[in-house]
Amino acid sequence: MQLRVIYILVFLVILCSSCQNNNEEIKVIGIVYNSIPKLLPSFNEKHDTISIDSKPKSGKKLKYAINENFVNDKFGNNISNYFYKYNEGKLKEKVSINHDYWSLVEQLQKQNNKGNIIDKKSFIKFIGNENVVFLPKKQIKNIEKLEYGVNAIISFSNVEFSKDYTKAAVTVYIYGDGLDVSLLVYVLQKEVDNWKIIYQSNIS
């Protein structure tokens, strides 16, 4: 009887941990999705500083589909531990991120494709947009862009968390067409129960 109780307790602990991971994962990718410009941003480059307004007041409207599958895009040696500081939608100077953050980025490289699918209902609820188009793919053809009324498709990796769930890293793959592809890595920190992007690396 005691052994059975122990098995039940262990199962409940594992279940609660899995639920926490799923909930926090939705929050992280939701924060990142909402930060991606929905209008063509303006780029101002000077002395290694790039200003990207995530909420520009004018410009061509952009609409993204979302790959319903989590993906694992390897970036190999194309990334260093120097990331742009992220502040209110703008990328500032490059800085060296500390070991705790860098170890999460390294873990992104070791992910295996698990066949995980985004919890669409939770994601839509978090970002507050019921008009998101989900597709089971990471690349999209021009005819499909016209069909779904989108400009590109976004894919997310599974999120890597620190043990205390206060730090996170995620890879984002944005595919417009064969010549319009972006691979980015975001590093986030949890502050008073809210996730905040603090670093970003533009790999391609």
The pLDDT tens digits for 129-148 are: 889 999 999 999 999 999 99
Higher local confidence (pLDDT), 3 or 183? 183
pLDDT, tens only, 149-202: 999 999 999 999 999 999 999 999 999 977 788 999 999 999 988 999 999 999
φ and ψ at residue 48, rounded to 5 degrees: 65, 25
Question: Tell me, what's the pLDDT at 43?
Answer: 47
Number of folded domains that form the chain: 1
Question: Tell me, what's the pLDDT at 114?
Answer: 62
Q: Range of 100's domain?
A: 2-202
